[in-house]
Each structure stands twice: as C-alpha cells, then as structure tokens.
Amino acid sequence: MSFAAIKRWRRSSSARFALIFLLLFGAAAIGLFAFVNARALAHFNAQTDEWLARETIRMTPAATRADAIARVDHHNQSDIHHLRPFGLFDPAGRRLAGSPATMPPGKVEDTPFDLQAHTARGAVTLRAMMRRLSNGDHFLVGQDLQESRAFAADLVFAIVWGGLALLLLCLSCAVWLAFLQERRVRRLTESLHQIMAGQLDARLALSPRRDEIDELAGGVNRMLAELERLMLEVKAAGDNIAHDMRTPLTRLLANLRQVDHGRADCAAMAAVISDAVEDVSGMIAMFNALLRISELNEAARRQAFRAIDLAEIVGDATDFHEVAAHERGITIRRIVPAHLAFEGDPDLLFEAVGNLIDNAIKYTPSGGEIVVDLAAGPVLSIADTGPGIPADERAKVLRRFHRVESSRSLPGNGLGLALVSAIAQVHRLELHIGDGKPGCVVSLEAA
C-alpha cells in the first residue's frame, strides 16, 4: 500500500468506524470470554463444594472412631490416583488416618477452603471441608484442584487464541468493508468532480442495495437534475430574450436614427415616439413579469393567503375576458359552482386564471369555444378549440420565454404559462397541459 493510500485511510471515516467497531467488538468479546471463564470456574467449584458437603455428611453417622478410621482407609485405598484424600484427626489435631499429615489450624467447620498439603501425590492444592464428629474427632475431605485448574488453563488458552483468531477475522472483515465503502465514496467523489468539470448530465452511480448512501446519492441526483434543468432554462431564457428583444430594439434603433437625421415631420416623429413607447412598454412588461416569477418562486406571497371563494375568483376572471372573447367571435361556456372555499392569494389566482383564459382566446379561432370548468378538489380546467400544443412541447412551454414555433408571430413573450406555473407552485397546485381533441386543455388541481 502506498504512502498516499495510508494517509487517505487515516483520514477515512470508514476506516475510523471500522476501527471503532473492532475495538468495541474486542472489548465485548473479552468481557464475554471473561464472564464464561468465571462462570465455568464457579460451576466447577460449586460441584466440588457440593461433593465435599455430601461426603462430610455421610461420615457423620459413624458410630465409633474405629468405624471412621476404617471408612477413611477404605476410601483412600480405592482412590488410586490420590485425587480425593480423606483425613481423620483426634480432638488435639493428631492424625488418626488418611492424609494430609497435619490438621489445618483455624479452619471453620463445614465451610469449603483451599489447602496446601502433602499427600501421596506430593505437595498439592486441595479444596477441602472439615467437620467435627460426635466423639470430638475431626473429619477432613479434600478434592485435588489439578483437574479444574488444568481445565481452567485450557479454557483460558482456548479463549485467548480463539479471541485472537476472532479479532483477526473481524479486523480483516472491517478492513474489507472499509475498503468497499471507501471505494464507493471515491467513485461518488469522482462523479462529482466530473460534474464540477462541466459534465452536467453525469450522475452518481447507485448500487442495488438501496441503502442510506444510495438514498443520499439519489437526492443528489435529483438536485443535479433540477440544477441542470434550471441552467438549461436560464440558457434558453437568455437565447429567447435575445431573440424576442432583437426585433423591438432594432425597430427602436431604426426609428431613433430616422428622427436623429431630421427627415421626419412632426406627425412622423409622433408616430415614431408612439412606437418607441410601445416597444419600451413591452420590454418593461416582460421584465416585470420576470421579477414577479422570481418573487413567486421565493414563496414570499404565501404570507398574504386567506380564505377565499375560488368560484368567485374564476367568475371574475372570466367576466373580465369575456368582452375580448366576444369581439373575436369566441364563446365562453362556464361550468362553475356557486361557491368553492379555498385558501390562497386572490390577486395571484385572478392573474393565473386570467392568463389561462387570455391564452385560450389568443389561440382559439373565430367561432370557437372556451370551456371554463371548476370542480371540488379544487380542479380548474380551461379547454379551447384552437390548434393545441404538441406533446413534445407541453413541458417546454412552462419554461420562461419558450414559445411554440407556430405562435412566434403572435403577440406575447412566452412568460404567461411560466407565471401561471409559479403561482400554482405557491398554492401547491399542479399545472397540466393535455390534448382537447381538438384544442388544448390546461388544468390546475391540488397536488
């Protein structure tokens, strides 16, 4: 492994998490092994103490010292490995039979204790218990601890080496998992570097696991898609602004040059000034619309929301545009309830409905019909009998300044539907454009 890779691993959160996990697991494993060892030794000691108590109780009914000596000698002879010695001592502590050679002084009767003694096997450690018999003699039962201590040593040996093997296995797994995680994060970082280098269509790769990192990467991908859309929209807006403003600015410049050369009389100059005012007013209206869309996107207008009658708003907007429709020979048919409660900004909603009706009037031929339909939900749909919007253009017309090529000869700047879309977002409504067969159907409905 290179020095740079080691430095990267030292800074890696995955490596730190793997190390912390390893330390916690190691501490837990050590605690568990210690508990198992302690419980195993306690179990063996409890079994030994139970046997000691049982043997001392069995000796208690011995009638005479001779019977007790005979029982001790018989047991010691049958204990060929000298692992469980019996001993008998008189009241003065002198040995009468068995081993050890001397009675341990100061020991509490009927209580287990550890004893260093010399037996037929030599110097050993015994677990012992002593009891006073009815004639005053002292009976001692011992259990050699060699087997339990050998088992304890084997258990500790198995725990130590098993723990080391387990820690080594966990370390390998932790390093492998940290390596996989670090490689995954590095790939995500490389994708981000590609995006920062200008590849706006690049996205973060998702794994089949769909874990929290995939959830984060999915959120970043959605953010990148929105950023790409906004940047493309800004670029398209710039192109459309240049396209739409070139004609009025060129006309304004030509008229001003004509006036500047002094070749126009007063009437012509008045006409030129009138045209210039109209062009400048159109450009100001366009920029005002842009500012309104930006204000709406900031959602600052939600502070003006109040309870309103949406049916009244739709009716007022329809009344406002009905004269213009009548002048063009277009019929507006209403399907609007008497009342429909809603919470929103009445001015914005009036503007949105008015823009939709104005668009419908603009593209509906003479003799056509516009249907304004409002239902609970709320669901507002405005259908016309015009040429409609092609399916591949319906999402694009919601962008600022985008206009269908066939409508560029008509007045407008391509901001109407963008403004309606912004108002709809503020009111948590969804704007849909569909096919009226013939014509177009634009609807606003609750998200």
CA 295 to CA 301: how far, in whole Å? 8
Task: Return mean pLDDT, the chain.
Answer: 78
Q: What is the pLDDT of residue 4?
A: 54
Helix ranges restricted to H, 111-198: 146-196
Domains for the chain: give ranges and CATH numbers.
Answer: 60-144 (3.30.450.20), 212-297 (1.10.287.130), 301-446 (3.30.565.10)
Please state the pTM of the whole predicted model.
0.46
Q: Which long-range contacts (CB under 8 A, 24 or more apart) does 233-237 make?
A: 233/399, 233/400, 236/399, 236/400, 236/401, 236/402, 237/399, 237/400, 237/401
C-alpha 417/C-alpha 404 separation (Å) is 12
Strand partners, 144: 126
| Residue positions counted in the chain | 447
Q: According to the model, what pLDDT value does residue 105 have?
A: 81
Residues 375-407: tens digit of each pLDDT: 888 888 888 888 877 777 766 666 655 555 545
Which of 76-85, 189-198, 250-259, 319-328 is the most confident on average? 319-328
Q: Answer whether residue 413 shows pLDDT above 60.
A: no
Q: Band of the pLDDT at 9, cuts 50, 70, 90?
A: low
The alpha helices in 298-394, defined as continuous H runs, are 310-327, 346-363
Residue 337 has pLDDT above 80, yes or no: yes
Q: Are 384 and 368 in contact (CB under 8 A)?
A: yes
pLDDT band at 295 (very low <50, low <70, confident <90, very high): low
Model confidence band, residue 241 (pLDDT cutoffs 50, 70, 90): low
Q: What Rg, from alpha-carbon coordinates, does the chain have? A: 49
Q: Where is pLDDT greater, at 340 or 390?
A: 340
Confidence of residue 90 (pLDDT cuts 50, 70, 90): confident
Which of 254-268, 303-317, 334-348 is least confident? 254-268
Instruction: Give the separation between CA 217 and CA 422, rounded to whole angstroms.
Output: 28
Give mean pLDDT, residues 320-328. 88
- The yes-or-no verdict on residue 340 having pLDDT over 70 is yes
